[in-house]
Amino acid sequence: MAEVAEPRGPLAGLLVADFSRILAGPYATMLLADLGAEVVKVEGPQGDDTRSWQPPVRDGISTYYLGVNRNKRSVALDLKDPDDLAAAQELARRADVLVENFKPGGLVRFGLDYDSVSRSNPRVLYASISGFGSGPGGASLPGYDLIVQAISGLMSLTGPPDGEPYRAGISVFDVMAGLHATIGVLSALHERDATGRGQHVEVNLLSSALSGLVNQSSAYVAGGVVPFRMGNSHPSLFPYEPLPCADGDLIITAGNNNQFRRLVEVLGAPELADDPRFGRNEDRTANRDELRPLLVERLRTRTKMEWFRDIIAAGVPCGPINTVDGGVAFAEEVGLDPVVEVGDGEAAVPSVRNPIRFSRTPAEYRLPPPSLDQHGKEIRRWLTQDPAAAGEEHTA
């Protein structure tokens, strides 16, 4: 296929057949694409569902879709059509990596399941993302992030202590599953370098959720403690939450005894560090109801940004509670350059920078998110060519 720019990232030369949609799979394949992989996004005739998930929009296009589909080429294939199915199977035969998030078993009838694809392409790394795994108990269950937030226990931990359980503000387990799928693919690539053999990589949202609950799930499996909702408080640390200043809240996280001593020195109450009720973290956590009003009494004497500057200068982590625009602005202030322009001229789409930094092979932003079937003709033409004759066995 014609190149907009020759990929130079660490995954240059890798062909990814992306049969996924919505969030977890597309996020994983976008990360691979940023790092140089050639990603072919296979969509049904109606396109990825997120194309219609709006508002908000940019130039009439869903920003949800734009957020996870840069650096890809789109081909619309109807798997019920014999010619389109043949093209999809040929793409799978040529791919280094195939990513899909159909219901477990949903691609068997199309000959696009792992067993079928690996027979013609034994080197393929086939990544499946599901809601609850491929076992008999979970394969038939629909895998939506919100459902997993509920079932996993996350919602029981989120929200005010005396209020209703809340969902997280993003589809956090879709993102985690996408990251786990990416880790699985890269690990399998390393193993393939040694053995020459592909394998099936499986990720599910519930397992990602229970792993991602970290200290909270460990509290139960290792300690027999069922965690409960604490609002913005932390079960094992204090202070580690928003505290009110003269004009609003400031997040303060004194994660160890030295940080707490520096904090109370800045607040003008150094004696608190020597108070036996507050000297150690476990004491502060146990006596948080006594310590909190003593800290708030001092914090209320100045604005949150005045305290922010002084507390940060003392080496104690803290920060204001921003809206998303403020978060982007703060990243710009500290030199992270969080926004990149993908594409040229009026067609360029602002996008959030890939968070991984490389000293020699940086992430690249070659293609804006494609319109439906934007590259269909060239992809179909390429799939009819002999890859060995064209010298393109593993690259598109």
- Residues annotated as catalytic are 174
**What Å distances lie between residue 323 and 255, 281, 330, 350, CA to CA?**
24, 30, 11, 19
From its phi and psi, is residue 144 left (phi > 0), alpha (psi between -120 and 50) or beta?
Answer: beta
**Contact residues for 280 (Cβ-Cβ < 8 A; gap 6+):** 257
Q: Are 184 and 126 in contact (CB under 8 A)?
A: no
**Contact residues for 95 (Cβ-Cβ < 8 A; gap 6+):** 15, 16, 17, 121, 124
Say what angle helices 172-195 and 24-34 make with each other, to 10 degrees: 50
What is the amino acid identity at position 84? D
* CA-closest candidate to residue 47, choices 61, 36, 33: 61
Q: What angle do CA 33, 36, 40 make, to 5 degrees?
A: 45
**Residues found in the chain:** 396
- Per-residue burial over 261-293, b if 16 or more Cβ lie within 10 Å, else e, is bbbbebbeeeebbebeebeebebbbeebeebbe
Q: Are 27 and 68 in contact (CB under 8 A)?
A: yes
| CB-count burial class (<10 Å; 0-12, 13-18, 19+) for 300 | middle
What does the longest C-alpha to C-alpha distance in the chain come to? 79
Residue 93: phi and psi, rounded to 5, are: -65, -30
Residue 75: both structure tokens together: 């081909």
| CB-count burial class (<10 Å; 0-12, 13-18, 19+) for 244 | middle
* CA-closest candidate to residue 50, choices 34, 83, 15, 74: 74
Q: Are 253 and 237 in contact (CB under 8 A)?
A: yes
Give the C-alpha separation, 374 to 78, whole Å: 15
Give the C-alpha separation, 197 to 233, whole Å: 48
